[in-house]
Structure 1
Amino acid sequence: MKKRMLTIFVLLLALAMAVPAYSATVLKLGHIAEPVHPYGKGAEKFAELVKEKSGGEIEVKVFPSSQLGGQKDLIEGLIYGTVDMALVGTAVLGQFQPKISIFDLPFLFKDRQHAYKSLDTVGMELGKELEPKGIKLLGYMENGIRHMTNNVRPIKTPADMEGLKIRVMNNKIYVETMKALGASPTPMAFGELYSAMQQGTVDGQENPSAHIWTKRFFEVQDYASLTAHAYSPEPMLISMISWGKLSDDQKAIVQEAADEAIAWQRQLSEDQDNEYWDKIKATGKIEVIEVDREPFAEATVSVHEMFADEVGQDNLDKIKALAE
């Protein structure tokens, strides 16, 4: 009897050891911003929400500061499944889905609320066209409202931009916008920008206040002009390969966490925008200049006309209608 009980015990022990230990589903999320950037914090908030809602069944590991590569690398990683999730700009995503570049057009939105309404409707519809290419759009966080900085002279009117070498993302809408304003656009990787301004390779750049502060661009620029020439969304993406590995319940958790994190992050971004400008001004290193935006908007109407067919005139009309 004792021998039989011992045999059963050994069999049960062996069976228990054969069952794999519980392990969470891990999703790697990459982006290029510093962790303190509003969408860097949004990524962390998303990770917290996923863990909480899944009871630890799903773990999101965030890799900021280009640890998993630049934005194009991240998008290609999503397509091939080597990266699970990413936050990237529409300026780069538009290389893979041209219509989504509509959100890079200058002076497209009346205000933030107009931007949110447009992104959550027209933007989500356009995102569906990414799915056959291997990417699912979960929603749009916010990079911020873009402004000009430079080292040559104060920019108060479009005429002041004549001939300035302005770094832009490798995106034709940004290139044409700078041309329309009289500047010389210089496409360059984000990671090279600080040293390029420091060394005089470019005269200036355009970015939201969060990047100007967290990347310390104010240290190597003399003038900042509040042109607010473009709103910069930050699409939150997941690889269709990674999405396909999740159960229906897990998919619902990830989407719900994304929705909540996006709402939280947008508010944070708006709140911190003024704080960043206060901090930038307080350094005394850069002059911050208010401008009349209307002449800049008029100078870039041609950019809307140039890309209307590519992004869809119907989409432009829908976005315009949402401002009313």
Structure 2
Amino acid sequence: MKRFSLLLVVAFLTLVVCVPAHAEKVVLKLGHIAEPVHPYGQGAEKFAQLVAEKSNGEMEVQVFPSSQLGGQKDLIEGLIFGTVDMALVGTAVLGQFQPQISIFDLPFLFQDRDHAYISLDTVGMEIGKDLEPKGIKLLGYMENGIRHVTNNVRPVKTPADMDGLKIRVMTNKTYVEMMKALGASPTPMAFGELYSAMQQGTVDGQENPSAHIWTKRFFEVQKYASKTAHAYSPEPLVISMITWNRLNEKQQAVLTEAAKEAVAWQRALSEKMDREYWDKIIATGKMEVIEVDRDQFAEATKPVYAMFADVVGQDNIDKIEALKK
């Protein structure tokens, strides 16, 4: 009888060991400041979908758009302290924490989108490694878009037309100096305050990609849009190192693979929607869209490179230049 009881105990213990415990679902919160319909807002949702699929439902990314988890600086600080798991944030704000990544805010840095993509996926990923000691891991670069100037005072066709215009910029030295070089008066301001500031005349204008001009309805409070294309604006997908280090290798691989696929998907969407946004803006009849000679603007902003070469690394500038076709 004792032998039979012993066999039952052994059998029970074997069953307990062999049957894996039910793994608790990993839930990650991802924040960004854009509207859900914005191309990188849609990119965030695509990433969440891919993570769910690749993990067979064992991982979930909950997306919080429209600054629900705070502005970009709040999101970055949250990543550092582990109160935010993931975010999509601009290099202009990340540059306050890792100066070299501000290289992507330099005016007229890229020849075209293809040049931007190959530069971001090589030089950009290498630079991104320096975020890790600061508590942030870069997974890839989505796209915010190509930035253009809008204003309420006059049509801007040449740099001379920028003279004295109060243009809202991000809290970023590169953008401040870029606008100064063009003769404008840069006014750093939080993105969430921008619409009312233009409506009330606190600033004359701003600079952003077509996606923000449309989804934030800036065309309602701005008369002129000049297609300066003065900067390409990537949107890094990042994760807190505190969160990353809590995950096992399989879970980390899921995020890495999903990020790579989501970035490629989102870039294609962004390029397609950029054309559609301009068509929609023009169709409102509320904003005059002006083509400009970009070479004049590029020439005017050349001094900005000398100001920031030591900060972003002349070697990094040279590497990006070498990738031009």
State the TM-score, normalized to the length of structure 2.
0.94
Change in CA separation of 1:230 and 1:286 when aligned onto 2, cut-off 3 Å: same
What percentage of residue pairs aligned between the two structures are identical?
Answer: 80
Counterpart secondary structure, 2:242 = helix
Q: For residues 93-108 of structure 1, what are the structure 2 equivalents within 5 Å?
A: 93-108=94-109
Counterpart secondary structure, 2:175 = helix
Q: 1:46, 1:117 → 2: CA distance?
A: 21
Deviations 1:211-233 (A, max 9, x none): 00000000000000000000000
Q: Which residue of structure 1 aligns with residue 302 of structure 2? A: 301
Q: Which residue of structure 1 aligns with residue 140 of structure 2? A: 139
Cα offset, 1:21, TM superposition: 6.5
Cα offset, 1:305, TM superposition: 1.0
Q: Which residue of structure 2 aligns with residue 58 of structure 1? A: 59
Q: Which residue of structure 2 aligns with residue 315 of structure 1? A: 316
Q: Which residue of structure 2 aligns with residue 245 of structure 1? A: 246
| Range moving further from structure 2, 234-243 or 19-28 | 19-28
Q: Which residue of structure 1 aligns with residue 199 of structure 2? A: 198
Q: 1:273, 1:183 → 2: CA distance?
A: 26
Q: 2:159, 2:305 → 1: CA distance?
A: 17
Q: 2:317, 2:57 → 1: CA distance?
A: 42
Q: Which residue of structure 2 aligns with residue 76 of structure 1? A: 77
Counterpart secondary structure, 2:187 = strand
Q: 1:190, 1:246 → 2: CA distance?
A: 33
Deviations 1:32-55 (A, max 9, x none): 000000000000000000000000
Q: 1:183, 1:313 → 2: CA distance?
A: 26
Q: Which residue of structure 2 aligns with residue 211 of structure 1? A: 212
After superposition, the CA RMSD in angstroms is: 1.6
Q: Which runs of 5+ in 1 are unaligned?
A: none
Q: 2:61, 2:27 → 1: CA distance?
A: 6
Q: 2:68, 2:22 → 1: CA distance?
A: 29
Counterpart secondary structure, 1:138 = strand
Partner amino acid for 1:84? Answer: D
Partner amino acid for 2:223? Answer: D
How many residues in Structure 1 have an aligned counterpart in Structure 2? 311
Cα offset, 1:22, TM superposition: 5.1
Q: Which residue of structure 2 aligns with residue 286 of structure 1? A: 287
Cα offset, 1:20, TM superposition: 8.3
Cα offset, 1:24, TM superposition: 1.1
Deviations 1:50-89 (A, max 9, x none): 0000000100000000000000000000000000000000
Q: Which residue of structure 2 aligns with residue 125 of structure 1? A: 126
Q: 2:22, 2:201 → 1: CA distance?
A: 56
Counterpart secondary structure, 2:44 = helix
Q: Which residue of structure 1 aligns with residue 155 of structure 2? A: 154
Q: For residues 256-267 of structure 1, what are the structure 2 equivalents within 5 Å?
A: 256-267=257-268
Change in CA separation of 1:31 and 1:204 when aligned onto 2, cut-off 3 Å: same
Partner amino acid for 2:84? Answer: V
